[in-house]
Structure 1
């Protein structure tokens, strides 16, 4: 029993510190020694819930009330988890059962009241919106959801929610589900806004200057509704009135960037009212501005714990998670930042947090890409690809060239090699894409230009192929492969009959640019020289301006090189 008690205390300490996985481990070890201890299951349920593992939290809560049916806290734990899972009718039943054993239990009363308020505010909690006739017809005829039905996973998800609406709370992170709900409920505005109304008003709290966090304004009240009056300061208990005053003084100092003074006022606010998450969050905001990121994280974790205990607005808890994410971002701990942005999203979704999450995911992906780079392994993969290419196994060679590119994405020759494989497999579009990347990385890589020319020939795009071969000749005017490709492109344009040729030349002569070139005495002299001595072409192509004019004449069909 002493060992069980020690493990329980270790679990409690880890839970208080926000180390949820560690707490779960300690409680599990204790349960293995004493499987009939209802308190251990209750504590592990709390740890699972804080870790976002609500199904496991529910299983432990149910085990708690099974072991101790007359213990009110077990029902409070069960009701809370059911509420998180979106199973609000069951949550109401759990709270009401607990009140039978302890009618004056404040936690049970507050939990029951909150769930009933949520049910009254929004039809999502009154029935299953997915269990309606012609569900798929309605979604198919609405442009917002029409394309979703082409995804088998989405259809499977709808069927799951039809059969088990209690899982809706777990699926709200999927923006498709939110859009679907807005269609099913015939709402003009996004269901995100509707759901945000359930979470109440946000506290007056300083914001991080680096990553502002805002929520959509609540919709206007209906005309017949009478707005609920704000409580007057004189109506507040003395401690809350004093705390509010200190917060206001802190906010004034915060806005003036007088953070030490702001911190003093926020700390005094906490002394007056230690149960309000807003003041805890304010302190964390000061630490963030002071670049005390570790302190900021610790303070936010404390704020979240206090918020959970006192059933704070989900938006305030989400804000604390976001600030932890921002602090980890400053510390360049990208994975931790991602984890806490995701936790924030699970509490309350906003476009701002979604953007932050997308940015950090892109950063992680880029870091992983950089960490994967290894020029030595890239060369090894290239050699394997070369061997397979020689054997005619082009598909497998592509895999090795692709791996070489991942290992060293700035090496032009790997793209050229893979383009050669694509060409052999007649995948010209993919080959062309690799050639473009190749010459982008190394514009002087002559092989890339030649390969691009050959691919464009295969795609019947002779004028573009001419340009590619010309680029190669500018780099090396004596390159036989480039010359052969250039001449092949030119000769292929002269297989038409006489009438076609006349039409081509007539169109060319109507081109103002062509007329300008032909009127240029220097160009006329060059053309005569090329006619008498075709070898002069190589010298003239070294001049970019002349080369461009010659190419224009060739593309128009007025001249050809054989």
Structure 2
């Protein structure tokens, strides 16, 4: 079902100009411009600014929801739409967008309610009716869906091939094969230049065993430059049945070129390779299927058969055993394992498996049941109506140039960029910080600002968790500073600040041992030197991390002794962070770093408490939301974890969107 939503949304929700301490008209325009050029994360930051300046405006919440939907943050989008509707309950576009988000959250009842509300304002709007058809289809309310389709067909005077397609698909789901055939044929009659109409007709004919007409229709779809892998898979299957192996291979290869994640394409090509004796490459195809779908027992069976023929007997037995563990009543797996065991001269094991297979075949019910493992090549399903789920992929803003602030590496659907799922790193004091325009948090602490003003530093110290790599020239500057400070300390060894600054310089050039000594000297001279405790804890943390990941080959191998050393270092770091908190209870970054330390120890609940305290002190602390979200996930609290990741993404941690996407895929079993 082709639904163009965003153009519709932007037409029905015009933005009324406002002004504030920031030029909200201008910031809103830049945000919409960022949406147009698919800079979704950046767009959110601009809408955040408008919301901060004028929280009573519904429009920025609405536009931020659109950006979040593009990033697949459906929970955050739903919350933003709700905020917009609280401020203005007469926004049909917000009901529409929230309905889409709720569909993705599987809240179909409330999605239907939102669409009903939106249709009160636009009773004949085709976009609203199209998305409601989708919702009805998901709810299996096929008669209501067909009623809406009939309304749209009348509006279009029966000249919309996509509507005929949608009607056919719903009739197919109702089990009305003849009705579906009639609708697909109507779609072809309305517009025979669309590949998808021939694809649907050909796939249905293939399922009805009308192979000659199916091949004709699939040829038509492919001649019209179909980019749907299923068309090539199904034509390849027909070629396979007709012993046209060259054509089948070509089609399966093309299907995999179009969709490397297609289980059916890899499985069918593996079957074909097995038949022609290309067993090693067949195994590679079955490997791919199992990698994508670890519970695909059809692939385990075919791989085991190929492994047996290639002499990989241990692997074959493992695969047969995996099938038997899942389907203990499947005789072919016992026969296959018995054969592999015979080849390994395990006659006793082979005999036991043969005996079990014979018993199962003897005891099988008279009424044949559907086999547990389907060992045949597969038909690709009708082309999925992915356009339904791509509602928000239309162009967003109608005018405007690209913003110069756009970050090329984090544009577009960044949730599809896989990231390592690790905590945001510790915050440290540094002369340098890599700027990130997406993070709007002002890393400010009054005590550090006062320290910078009271001391004549070559550059002010900053709080950052995004340090930069030094160039050779930069390193020489710090070596010179160390030399100069050493001269001053030799002349007067009672100045805690000089030890502290030299420690920072040592840490900057990664001489952590000397940095640690200097921070300890500073603390000895001034036991209330909070920044020195913080830096010492950070330096110890880095040293501990290095030791854990780069063990000394000459160190004792006594695990108990190593655990004691680690425990000692851990306790010292924790003690320094706690001392920092005692001296400066409003310094959020100590809580954050301590949360990371506790996460490393897998004490996730206490880590959550620390991140929560950091957020209380810095309500827009993006990194704390992100790390707390991960901690929630580790204790299987997905709801709170996703909520925190959504907030982190909103505040500029773009990696959160990929994590949320992977959680959603895992939950749906993809």
TM-score after normalising by structure 1: 0.31
Which of the pair is proportionally richer in helix?
1
TM-score normalised per structure 2: 0.26
The structure with the largest alpha-carbon Rg is: 1
Greater relative contact order structure (CA < 8 Å, 6+ sep): 2
